[in-house]
Structures are given as structure tokens and as C-alpha cells.
A and B are shown apart, each in its own frame.
Chain A
Amino acid sequence: MKSFLHFWRRFRRNRAALVALFVLLAITLIAIVGPYVYTVDPFEMMGRASTPPSKRFWLGTDVSGRDVLAGLIHGARVSLLIGVAASLCATLVGLIVGAVAGYYGRAVDNILMRCTDFFLTIPSFVFAVVLIAIFRPSVTNVTIAIGIVSWPPVARLVRAEFIAQREREYVLAARALGMSDIEIMIRQILPNALPPVIVVSSLLVATAILTESGLSFLGLSDPNVISWGYMIGVGRTVLRLAWWMPAIPGIAILVTVLCINLVGEGLNDALNPRVQRR
């Protein structure tokens, strides 16, 4: 509790991160309760096609006469869910691979890093497209596919941190106190290696949202759920006639991704005791 208060005091110092955090919380709140409050079905034809924002449709309708506001609210759910879940997946895999490779070094490191390199050589978006094409689009598969293409940078970062930390004398001291390798990795080194990882995985949430949007823009997302990328894809053809159609979900993505990045930076400032006030 005490350490959380300490963390909060440090986090609060970064005004931009604080504002971004509140915006993100608002978006999350909308994603969670929005669909129950604004009960319009985002796939239902509600009015005339391509009407600009009006009193009846606050954000207008799309080419099929569907309510853009409803799409935006329902889409927030999918975007955030996939973004967070895929980032967690990638972070977890990256942590395990990177920690083991960095801590044990030598042959273990070689094998794991060549595997990582293999994944890094494939352009991640193309790789995701291929995975979705093979495993058919569903929310779960999209999440897993994004997770699979995003873990290598985390693994490399974690490995570098572990290599830097494993030679430190406190690791030797911990070993001299009778701690096992696993304990040393998780309880001693990981907390030291975590700050940059937290920053990267918060950025990963942002990239995952972008990747998901890209996939659904190409029509490679779950056809049964609406997402921001899908809405942009639908509005793309009428960009010059009805700019709000792709612009509104586009702004939603921009704001969300920006806020995530700002919060990530704030986390870095707050979590890293070496970053004293600047």
C-alpha cells in the first residue's frame, strides 16, 4: 500500500501521463458500460446511408445507414480487448524467452535468440495476415496472431536487461544467500529489468490496436464484431464525400494510442527509482 502511494506520487508528477490516464480510463469505461447504455446495434440499419452528424445521429451514419456512434462504442471494446490481451501475451512470451536466454547465456541463449531472429525477419504485419488467413478470423485468433508477431522485441529487450543484471554483485549475493535460479530471476533480476519492459509492453498495446485496425481494415477480423479498423475500412471508399466516416474511428484510434504511449512514459518515470525528478 505504502509503495503504491509512493508510485502514485511519482506518477502524478508527469501531468501529460496523468491526463492520458484519465482519458484512457474514460475510454475503458465507455468500452465496458457503453454498449449497455447506448443500446443501438452497430450492425443494424438505422437510417439513411451516409448522413453527416446530426441531432438524431450524433456522429452520422455509414454507407449502409448504420449508426457510427454505436460502432465507435462497440468497437472500443474489441480494440482495447485485443490490444491489451495481445500485449500481455507478447510480454509474457518475451519475458520468459528473454529471461531464460539472458540468465543462462551460452547455448540456451544461442538457441532461443536464433528462434527470436527467425520471427524478427518476417515482417510482422504480413506474418499476422498469414496467420489469420490460416486460422480464420476470430477475436481469439486475432489476439494470438498479434501476440505471436509482437513478442520478439520484448524478448530481446528482456535478454539485454538480464545480461546486464546477471553479472551484478547482488545476484551473486542472492545466490550466496541460498536462492535458486528461478527465485533470482523472478524476485531479484526481474524487478530491476521490468521498467523498460513495462514501457515497451504499454507501447505494444498501442501497436496491437493499430495492427488489429489494419487487419480489420483489410477485412481480416472477426466478421461478427465491429471494430474501429473495420469502420475505417468501410468508410475508406467514400472518404471524399463523407470524411467523418473514416475520420471518427481514426481519431478514436489516434487518441487511444497516444494516451497509452503517454501513460507508458509516465509509468517509466514512476517505476524507475533511478529517474529522479528532472
Chain B
Amino acid sequence: MSALLQVEGLSVQFATDRGPVRAVEDLSFSVAAGETVAMVGESGSGKSTAALSLLRLIEPAGGQVSAGRILFDDVDLLGLSSRQLRGVRGSRIGMIFQDPMMALNPIFTIGWQISESLREHLGLSRRAARDRTIELLQRVGIPAPEQRIDQYPHNLSGGMRQRVMIAMALACRPSLLIADEPTTALDVTVQAQVLALINTLKDEFGMAVLLITHDLGVVWETAQRVVVMYAGRKVEEGSVSDVFERPEHPYTRGLLKTARLTDDRAGPLVEIPGTVPNAFEMPHGCRFAPRCAQAFARCEDGVPPDIKVAVGHDVACLLAERAP
């Protein structure tokens, strides 16, 4: 089966006063049609940068894709003209952001903002766009959409605003939705509702979802596959059940322990000692080695290769080599 989105060897760098910084290095993963893939990692692991660079949204922020290919429906997005790229953005790949307050233009009604996208990509008339917008607002569970459509973002609650963002992103029925920490800024109770909504709409529209998050609970509940990121590199990838039940990378194991999804939640909080290495002083070998309790000499020699431990389960750790 050919993947809907196939990322190969993606590297993203930012130019700084102290030279270029690689925020994402040699990242490869794929998302099949209709599948939910979660990308997890702590702050600064490069997961948001990776997500933004998929639609080449990183360029205005000073970032640059320095290597790799981003194949969407077998077309390399990096090779598209800005005009062709705009045709993909919003219409075939939708994106929602972390803070729904910030991501909506404060001075326009939500209806205007949603219909803008409809008119842009589908060429609908004002009237038709408005009808479609009301329909969409209803789909994403906003009560009394006929009234809400003329309200401003500041009239809505956080959960409502994220629903509006989702309606906007899905207005043109994209085949892939990139959700960059969609629930981080929301209350816990609202988080579950928004996730459930994304799941329902995913099935209904038959779209794939790339979910960027640091919340392993969210991954467990919504994703089929997971990509674990650490300091700009992918350290482990596999089906959620494989990775959660048989994590191979010490970092993944640490993450799962800190999330305390399985243990009895008694006792002190678990933490992974140390911090993410400074972008200017990245270790040559495995980037997790300085924090890893099981690290040995060869870990510092070079970047560990991706090792297949099961079907569709890869891990970039030398420990996996020893395993039978």
C-alpha cells in the first residue's frame, strides 16, 4: 500500500547568529490514508517544527528544509511552486494549531473566516459558503450555528474556538489533517471532547490524521501508530500497541514510565534525569546517550541506525541489536 504522506530523510535547520541549528534531522515516517499517526516528544524535540515544515510553513519563521523529500500522494511538496503549494494547503492538507485563541483572526466573525477558505479553494458564492459554514459548525458540534456564525472569536470558549479551527481546517475535506497539539491549551474535560470529535470526523471524512502531542494518554486513545522524537531525531516508530507494550528505546521507556499509564500511580513521580541537549552541543552519537542509564561506549561513536525489532516497529538504539 502506498502511503498518503511519505516523509524521507527530512532535515530542517534554522540560521542563527551562532551558525545553523538542525531542529529536525533525517526524519522519515509515513502516514497511510485513513490512519492516525501520533508524533510524540518533549518540548524542543522538533515535532512541531517537523509538522510545520510538511506544509513548508517553517520558511517565514526563518527555518529551511535542508534535505529530504515530502511525498504527498506521490508528489514532492518541496518541489512545488508557491502557487501549487497554496492549492494543497487548506484544501488537501488541513492544519489545526495549539492555541485556538491565537489562531483565529480576532477581528473577523468566525463565519467570515470559515467561508473565506471555502470561497478561496472551492470558489463558492457568498450565499453558498454561508450555508456550508453553518453546516460545518453543526458538524463540529457547535450549538445554534446560525447565531454563532456571526460571533467573534472572543465570544467563544476555548473548546468552541478549537471546534471552529477544526471546521476551518476541514472545510474543504482534506485527506490529511495535521493537528499540532490540538488539545494542549484546553481544559481536560474539553480535551476529551475535541479528541473524540477529531476521531469521529476522521472516520466520517475518511481522512488521515498526523497528531503532534506530548500527551501519551492522547496517543494511546487516538492513534494507530506512533513516532517518538528526541532532540530532532526519530528514536522509535511502531504501532501504538507494540510501542506501548514493548518499548525498545530507553527514552520511550522513560516517557511511558513518567506518563504512568499502567502502574498503580502510587509512589513518587518518575522523571527522566537530565535535559534535552543544547542545540549547539549535540552529541555526535546517540543524542539520548548522556541521559541514558544503559548507555555504553559505542553509543557515542555514531548515530545509531534504525533497527527493525518487529514488523513496522523500528528503533534507533544499539541495545536492540543485542536482543535476540
Residue numbers of A with Cβ under 8 A of B are 2, 166, 168-170, 172-180, 187-188, 191-192, 273-274
Number of A-B contacts (CB under 8 A): 70
Q: Does B107 contact A (CB under 8 A)?
A: yes
Contact between B95 and A273, CB atoms less than 8 A apart: no
User: Which B residues from 75 to 107 make CB contacts under 8 A with A?
Assistant: 82-83, 86-91, 94-95, 97-99, 102-107
A173 with B86: in contact, given A179-B120, A273-B152 (CB under 8 Å)? no
Q: Which of A173, A180, A188 neighbours the largest number of chain B CB atoms within 10 Å of its CB?
A: A173
On chain B, the residues within 8 Å of A169 by CB distance are 97-99, 102-103
A178 with B88: in contact, given A170-B102, A173-B103, A191-B108 (CB under 8 Å)? yes
Q: Does B4 contact A (CB under 8 A)?
A: no
Which residue of chain A is the closest to B99 with respect to CB atoms?
A169
Contact between A173 and B95, CB atoms less than 8 A apart: yes
In the assembled complex, 22 residue pairs joining A and B whose CB atoms fall closer than 8 Å, in A order, are A169-B99, A170-B103, A170-B105, A172-B52, A172-B57, A172-B103, A173-B97, A173-B103, A173-B168, A175-B57, A175-B60, A176-B55, A176-B169, A177-B90, A178-B86, A178-B89, A179-B120, A180-B82, A180-B83, A191-B108, A273-B107, A273-B154
CA–CA, A168 and B60, complex, Å = 12
On chain B, the residues within 8 Å of A178 by CB distance are 86-91, 117, 120-121
On chain B, the residues within 8 Å of A175 by CB distance are 57, 60, 89
Q: Does B235 contact A (CB under 8 A)?
A: no
CA–CA, A77 and B177, complex, Å = 59
| Minimum C-beta distance from B91 to chain A (A) | 6
CA–CA, A273 and B90, complex, Å = 28
Q: How many residues of B contact A (CB 8 A)?
A: 34
Q: Which of B88, B99, B104, B107 neighbours the largest number of chain A CB atoms within 10 Å of its CB?
A: B107
In the complex, per-residue mask of B211-243: 1 if CB is within 8 Å of any chain A CB, else 0 = 000000000000000000000000000000000
CA–CA, A178 and B105, complex, Å = 15
CA–CA, A45 and B102, complex, Å = 66
On chain A, the residues within 8 Å of B102 by CB distance are 168-170
CA–CA, A169 and B52, complex, Å = 12
User: Which B residues from 31 to 58 make CB contacts under 8 A with A?
Assistant: 52, 55, 57
* Further pairs besides A172-B103, A191-B105: 8, Cβ < 8 Å: A168-B102, A170-B104, A170-B106, A173-B103, A176-B95, A178-B88, A178-B120, A274-B106
On chain B, the residues within 8 Å of A170 by CB distance are 102-106
In the complex, per-residue mask of B57-80: 1 if CB is within 8 Å of any chain A CB, else 0 = 100100000000000000000000
Which residue of chain A is the closest to B104 with respect to CB atoms?
A170
Q: List 7 tightest A-B contacts by C-beta distance, closest first.
A: A177-B90, A169-B102, A178-B90, A178-B89, A176-B95, A178-B86, A173-B103
Contact between B105 and A174, CB atoms less than 8 A apart: yes
Contact between B117 and A177, CB atoms less than 8 A apart: yes
Contact between A176 and B86, CB atoms less than 8 A apart: no
Q: Does B194 contact A (CB under 8 A)?
A: no
| Minimum C-beta distance from B65 to chain A (A) | 16
Q: Does B23 contact A (CB under 8 A)?
A: no
Which residue of chain A is the closest to B56 with respect to CB atoms?
A175
On chain A, the residues within 8 Å of B98 by CB distance are 169
Contact between A192 and B103, CB atoms less than 8 A apart: no
Contact between B86 and A273, CB atoms less than 8 A apart: no
Q: Does B165 contact A (CB under 8 A)?
A: yes
CA–CA, A115 and B234, complex, Å = 47
CA–CA, A177 and B150, complex, Å = 20
| Minimum C-beta distance from B182 to chain A (A) | 12
On chain A, the residues within 8 Å of B57 by CB distance are 172, 175-176
| Minimum C-beta distance from B49 to chain A (A) | 13
On chain A, the residues within 8 Å of B120 by CB distance are 177-179
Which residue of chain B is the closest to A176 with respect to CB atoms?
B95
| Minimum C-beta distance from B97 to chain A (A) | 5
Q: Which of B82, B86, B91 neighbours the largest number of chain A CB atoms within 10 Å of its CB?
A: B86
User: Which B residues from 135 to 152 make CB contacts under 8 A with A?
Assistant: 150, 152
